[in-house]
Structure 1
Amino acid sequence: MAKSKNRPACLSARDRASFAFPTIKDRVPIIVCKIIDLLYRHRSVYPDTDSIKQAIELMSKLRYEIATDKPFSNIEDGREDCSVWNEYKDKMGVRTDQGELLAPSWFQTSWLYAECYAYRRLWEAMGSTTNPKYRSLDFFEIQKQESFCGSWTSIKALIQTVEGIHKSNPKDSGSMAKNFLNLLKVSLWGNKCDLSISSGVATSFQGDPTLQVGALQPNLIVDHSRAVWDHLSANQGGIVDIILDNVGFELVSDLALADYLVSTGLAKKVRIRAKNQPWFVSDAMAHDIKWTINAMETGGDIAQNEEKTTEGKVKATDSTALRWRQFLESGLWEVSEDNFWTYPHFYGEMKEKDPTLYQSLSEAQLLIFKGDLNYRKLVGDLNWDPTTSFEESLLGFHPAPLVTLRTLKADVVTSLDAGQAEELTLKDPKWMINGSWAVIKFCSRIDLI
């Protein structure tokens, strides 16, 4: 990929000291193995075992290609985005002195591209089976649902807080800022529950999340939450977009924030933007939102020894689920699966590659980007100096005011103070990759050159 004069290099697994190297060497292959194992163990539930066997064989081939650093091949499952991926492969190739175009390979190209390509190849494995039924199979579904169930205690605690806000009048001007900031930070720290960072092992958020926000405040190394509140409170009644990351507790925390936005009138509509295919293990798709609301309604059935009402439903969560259904039916919440979120491009390329989506985003009063992958795509996954301004690192992407809520799980970050990165390294040498540190970074609309 061409690099501008002042643009740093892409993070890449060729750098053995980076987190990209163990990700491509170990974490991604382990994730592939777990999917193969799940498909094999649950093969009895699929009527066409030959197609599942075919998918497993293609996934095993992918694992071998990663281990041996094979060059990337074209995506050939006939889906509408094939040309996008194949054109990007050619763009990322290297031209030899003899004019031959060499395809990128796992350890020699951009980390962001390689990791995204791995998930698209998994989707290709399902799309290439002889049975078209399996083209839409979410092979991460079991792991996603286990993540939700493992966080059930924390989910209930959060929903009790949400219901308490509704009972005490969510529009009370004296408490609106406090409630908003609390829910914003719960949504931020919910991002700790990421199955791709744990190589597909079910993770959960433990304890009452609303009580942990204060304790985690010292680990919030950039905190522009007050600026986000000032922006929304001064521009109430617009559209707010939430670009989702993970399912489980994090998705519930995102929906709790969306609930507060429309219930208070801070937003007239919340557009919830999900992935259109299984992605990075636990990334949310539209069907995950539906499943989550259903599970909240019958929550006692997914956890043992839960206290139920006489109607067999868990207290609080069922009424919340009903309200969320009404938000969806009325159009106060709108869910979409935009193709671009699962393209290999960083977001600075969106205006050219998907101008329709860029224009749609420009209608929003605020864009809320959740999680580490969205952050990496915002800043191009480049080896930025940590003191680089967030505005510069956005690489021209700025359709509307935006905020990123991210726990750090990749060795890229911008907008830190001079010396701050060095101080954090002394406190925690793995602060950039272990998910224990976070940023809330707000950027108002600016004119970019």
Structure 2
Amino acid sequence: MIPPPYLTSDPKSFGYPTVHKRWPIIVSDAIKDVEATINANQAEAIKNLGKIIVGKLQKLLQDFKDDAQVRPFTEQEIELNGDLKVYNEQLNAFPPSITWQDGLWLFLECYLYQYMNNFFLIESVEVPFWKTFDVFANLKWLSFKSSEPGVMELAHHYHSLSSQLNLSGATGATTDAKKAIFSEFVEIALWGNATDLSLLAGTTSLEDIQSVQGKNARTANQSKILINDTEKAWNRLLSTADAGDGAVSESTGVHIVLDNAGFELYTDLVFSLILLDLGITNKVTLHAKKLPWFVSDVLIADLSHLLSQIVDPSFFCLNESVQYVHKIVSGYLANGKLSITTSSYWTRPDAFWSIPSCAEASLKSQLEAAQLVIFKGDLNYRKLTGDVSWDPTTLFATALQQLGETKIPILALRTCKADVVVGLQPGTFERVAKEYKAMGDGLWVSSGKWAVISYHKGM
């Protein structure tokens, strides 16, 4: 039996401070960003339509405060974005009185970013400027700029490994050495996920985010990885890479369903280089979002922005190792071993349980044929597990529901920033809750200070 979902009306859920505090701050910051763009622009049409967008964002803030009813998307909105039909279908299945302060947290959070995006689409019919405007871009890159020490350290580490072990072609490392390198970079990608800008509107500070960047921080936080299935994922990659001549080429390689732009995307890129350099896959496909999503989620355009910034002397200090990372990433992009794509499926409101029945056919077939599909971050974890109140000892495979019955091999790398968590040993939840209570108030599961590395082999 599936337990009930988390609601924005439940004071014991992180959904409650989300609607009362986090969302208002996120929308207020969006207003400031649009206003700054208006002030910096000379075109009257852009200015005038920008002011209309600001007005709609201000109305949204008032709707949060008034606990307004959540409405279906209009025909005009659906005409501009056909992906919204599924939102209306799901709204029709809910009680007619669903409001911002009393509804399914996951659904409303997804709905919110689609709702905000529509303001820009509608006002861009005659003036295209706003159509592709990322209202969260400035925050993404300000945060990334502040991550310069972590960027430099990781670049140096990768450069050193590549030189010392002759990783290109995987000729310079034993299987044990490869496994150790893979394990280390899984943790690098894991803690890169702590760089979640949507949390800056809550209890997490930029200093908290920066505190998990770097080798010393990762070493100190190893005990906070409550589930670590890294070895299972490694064995999966090793078995598919060594299954026979051409086995890897016949698969679709490794897929990474991305989470945050900026520093996390940078760690994901370096992780991708390691996967390719070690020779355990011959292709890595990155999956981004189609629209500005959960503040800092990766858009396809964010990849080229990041690559430009890491070699821009006005953004970061010029550094040989960072330039080396840029060169290797660019080379893999050019030869097709590394690619980035998107799908409207990733911005649907439903759990990933629906992948077998609702995902695009090409997406589903790619994931089923993959050596490994790595889901990054909290939102992807919430969607993998349905964002329902599972007992924390529930098996990860059980929480995946229909998705767990497919051939898709899944690895979830997630720092815990929302209520749902599964796969814990008995007593672990209570032990960590007691430990966090001694550190301060709040829910440990939404603190971002603990993490899980959860694997399911597929059927």
TM over 0.5: yes
Query: What aligned pairs does 1:16-415 form with structure 2 within 5 A after superposition?
Result: 16-46=11-41, 47=43, 48-76=46-74, 77=77, 78-91=80-93, 93-94=94-95, 102-130=96-124, 131-168=127-164, 169-170=166-167, 171=170, 172-173=173-174, 174-199=176-201, 204-206=209-211, 209-236=214-241, 237=248, 238=251, 239-298=253-312, 300-303=313-316, 306=317, 313-356=318-361, 357-398=363-404, 399=406, 400-415=408-423
Question: After alignment, is 200-209 or 142-151 more displaced?
Answer: 200-209
Find the aligned partners of 2:270 and 2:419 in 1 and give their Cα distance: 30
Tell me how far 1:206 sits from its aligned partner.
4.4
Contact 1:380 1:394 in 2 (8 A): yes
Structure in which a larger fraction of residues adopt helix: 2
Q: Which residue number in structure 1 is paired with residue 428 of structure 2?
A: 420
1:350–1:182 CA distance, 2 compared to 1 (3 A): same
The alignment partner of 1:374 has SS state of: helix
**What RMSD over aligned residues (CA atoms) do the two structures have, in Å?**
1.6
Q: How far does the alpha carbon of each residue in 1:50-83 deviate from its partner, in whole angstroms, 9 at most, with x for none?
A: 1111111111111111222211122243212122
Contact 2:113 2:294 in 1 (8 A): yes
Contact 1:406 1:439 in 2 (8 A): yes
Tell me how far 1:207 sits from its aligned partner.
7.6
> Where do 4+ consecutive residues of structure 1 move more than 3 Å?
200-204
Letter of the 1:270 partner, please give it.
V
The alignment partner of 1:188 has SS state of: helix
Tell me how far 1:328 sits from its aligned partner.
1.1
Find the aligned partners of 1:45 and 1:358 in 2 and give their Cα distance: 43
1:388–1:206 CA distance, 2 compared to 1 (3 A): closer
Question: After alignment, is 176-185 or 165-174 more displaced?
Answer: 165-174
Letter of the 2:107 partner, please give it.
Y
Find the aligned partners of 1:73 and 1:90 in 2 and give their Cα distance: 10
Contact 1:190 1:205 in 2 (8 A): no
Letter of the 1:84 partner, please give it.
V
Letter of the 1:15 partner, please give it.
D
Contact 2:392 2:424 in 1 (8 A): yes
Contact 1:24 1:66 in 2 (8 A): yes
Tell me how far 1:433 sits from its aligned partner.
0.8
Find the aligned partners of 1:301 and 1:361 in 2 and give their Cα distance: 39
Tell me how far 1:208 sits from its aligned partner.
6.0
TM-score (structure 1 length as normaliser): 0.91
Letter of the 2:19 partner, please give it.
I
Contact 1:13 1:109 in 2 (8 A): yes
Q: How far does the alpha carbon of each residue in 1:150-195 deviate from its partner, in whole angstroms, 9 at most, with x for none?
A: 1011111001111111102122115211111111101001111111
Find the aligned partners of 1:370 and 1:244 in 2 and give their Cα distance: 5
1:23–1:164 CA distance, 2 compared to 1 (3 A): same
Sequence identity (%): 29
Find the aligned partners of 1:108 and 1:208 in 2 and give their Cα distance: 36
Letter of the 2:275 partner, please give it.
L
Q: How far does the alpha carbon of each residue in 1:92-151 deviate from its partner, in whole angstroms, 9 at most, with x for none?
A: x22xxxxxxx15222222100111111111101111215233111111110011111010
The alignment partner of 1:12 has SS state of: coil
Q: Which residue number in structure 1 is paired with residue 244 of structure 2?
A: none
Letter of the 1:28 partner, please give it.
W
The alignment partner of 1:397 has SS state of: helix
The alignment partner of 2:199 has SS state of: coil
Find the aligned partners of 1:358 and 1:332 in 2 and give their Cα distance: 20
Letter of the 1:121 partner, please give it.
Y
Aligned residues: 424
Tell me how far 1:360 sits from its aligned partner.
2.2
- Where structure 1 has 5 or more consecutive residues not aligned to the other structure, the ranges are 1-5, 95-101, 307-312
- Where structure 2 has 5 or more consecutive residues not aligned to the other structure, the ranges are 242-247, 438-442
Q: How far does the alpha carbon of each residue in 1:267-302 deviate from its partner, in whole angstroms, 9 at most, with x for none?
A: 11001000110011111111111111111122x311
Find the aligned partners of 1:433 and 1:370 in 2 and give their Cα distance: 16
Tell me how far 1:223 sits from its aligned partner.
0.8
Question: After alignment, is 209-218 or 120-129 more displaced?
Answer: 209-218
Contact 2:191 2:212 in 1 (8 A): no
Find the aligned partners of 2:145 and 2:300 in 1 and give their Cα distance: 18
